[in-house]
Structures are given as structure tokens and as C-alpha cells.
Amino acid sequence: MKIIAMNGSPRKNWNTAALLNKVLEGAASQGAATELINLYDLQYKGCVSCFACKRKGGEHGKCAMKDDLTPILENLRKADAIVFGSPIYYSNITSGMVALLERFLFSNAIYSSEIPTVYPRKIPSAFIYAMNATEDQMDKLGYKEKFRSYENYITRTLGKPIELLYCCNTYQFTDYDKYESAIFSETAKAKQKAEQFPIDCQKAFDMGVQLVKNA
């Protein structure tokens, strides 16, 4: 039983990474082997439309591009559960996460009317979002609806339901005094970090436990 976490934040020790590590801790508590991949350590591009993965008689499920993502994509096909985590940049997941999903989802997709996926098994997944927006702002900006598109493609590929976690009003800097950040209240951010973030971490841990049970 192996669960893989994909960190779509360039920051390896901040909100997204901390939550992903909690998911893995939860999964490990149930006996799963775990791995965290920091996407921003890798050199890779998004899909280049070569369509090698769609060729008749070709190797469906395999991305033909050769770069740092090649072994990761192979390992993702062997995973028993996958958790994706991304900060929100300009109301979207990060470009590193988008590029990964293009490669992973498209290489496992098939233009067939009967089955949409060549992913070898049905496995559960999860997506964790970290953002500056408060929960109210997230709702007003329609973020949940915006994010649904990739979630739908992930479930279509992996075959089992996706669990979601939204971490709002994140603490963004080590020291707010050092940055021009008048639109944010450091006091409110610190309160969120002290009170809500541990709750989000617990939810992430529980998510890891659940993923193993659903796998």
C-alpha cells in the first residue's frame, strides 16, 4: 500500500507541504508506505501535444516526454492513493501543478467512447488547496466551482471519489513587518495560524487515514 503526495508549492516547509505531510502521517499510521514529491525540485514542462499516448498500437498510459517527471509519472501509475496539494495563485492551482496534471491526466486518458481512462486500477485521491483568501472570500470568488474542473478529470482518471480540503487565510510570511502587506491583518492571520491551522492539520491527518481505508 503506497500513497504519494504531490506538492505543488515551491515552498517546501509552508502550508501546503505541512498539510501534505500530515496526510502522509495519517496514512503511515495505518501502515501505508508514503512518499512526498516536491514538484518545484523537478525540471519539466506541461503536455506538448505530441499525442504519442494516443497512437494506435502505441503505449497508452505512458507520457513520451523525457524529463524529471518521467519516473514520477510511472510511479503514480503504481500508487494506491494520490494526494495533490497546491497553493492558489491568481485563483488557480500553481503552474507546476497544472503542468503535472496535463501530463498525468492526458497520458492516462483515452479518446474512447466506452472508457475514459487507461489508469490500471481504481484508486482514491485527495486535493488540498492553500490560499490567502478567507472562507468568505473563497465562496464569493467562486473558488470551489473553479477548482472542480481538475477534480472531475482526476476522478474520471482514477475512478474513485476525491476528498477535498481548503486551507484558508494562510500565514504567508515569516515576519509580516518586513513586507508590504497592508491589506492583510497580521493579527487575524496569526489567530488563524494558531487556531484554525491545527484543525486543518488534523483534517489532513484524518484524510490520510481515510485514503488508506478507501484504497
Ligand X SMILES: Cc1cc2nc3c(=O)[nH]c(=O)nc-3n(C[C@H](O)[C@H](O)[C@H](O)COP(=O)(O)O)c2cc1C
Point out which residues pair with 117 in neighbouring strands. Answer: 109
Residue number, 90 or 111, with CB nearest to ligand X:
90
Residue nearest to ligand X (CB): 87
User: Which residue's C-alpha cell is 495560524?
Assistant: 193
Nearest-CA neighbor of 212 among 176, 136, 160?
160
Nearest-CA neighbor of 30 among 214, 165, 213?
213
13: cell is: 516547509
Residue number, 19 or 47, with CB nearest to ligand X:
19
Q: With contacts defined by CB under 6 A, name the span among 12-20, 48-56, 112-120, 201-209 that binds ligand X.
A: 12-20
Residue number, 95 or 155, with CB nearest to ligand X:
95
Say if residues 60 and 112 touch (Cβ distance below 8 Å).
no
Options 20, 72, 88, 128; binder of ligand X; rule CB under 6 A: 88
Minimum CB distance to ligand X, residue 92 (Å): 8
Residue number, 39 or 88, with CB nearest to ligand X:
88
Under the criterion CB under 6 A, does residue 9 sit at the interface with ligand X? yes
* Total binding residues toward ligand X, as defined by CB under 6 A: 16
Options 4, 5, 6, 15; binder of ligand X; rule CB under 6 A: 15
Q: How many CB atoms lie within 10 A of CB 62?
A: 15
Say how far apart CA 133 and CA 168 lie, in whole Å.
6
Say how far apart CA 156 and CA 108 lie, in whole Å.
10
Options 25, 46, 75, 89; binder of ligand X; rule CB under 6 A: 89
Options 108, 170, 192, 210; binder of ligand X; rule CB under 6 A: 170
Say how far apart CA 70 and CA 104 lie, in whole Å.
10
Residues that bind ligand X (CB under 6 A): 9, 11, 14-16, 87-91, 130-133, 170, 172
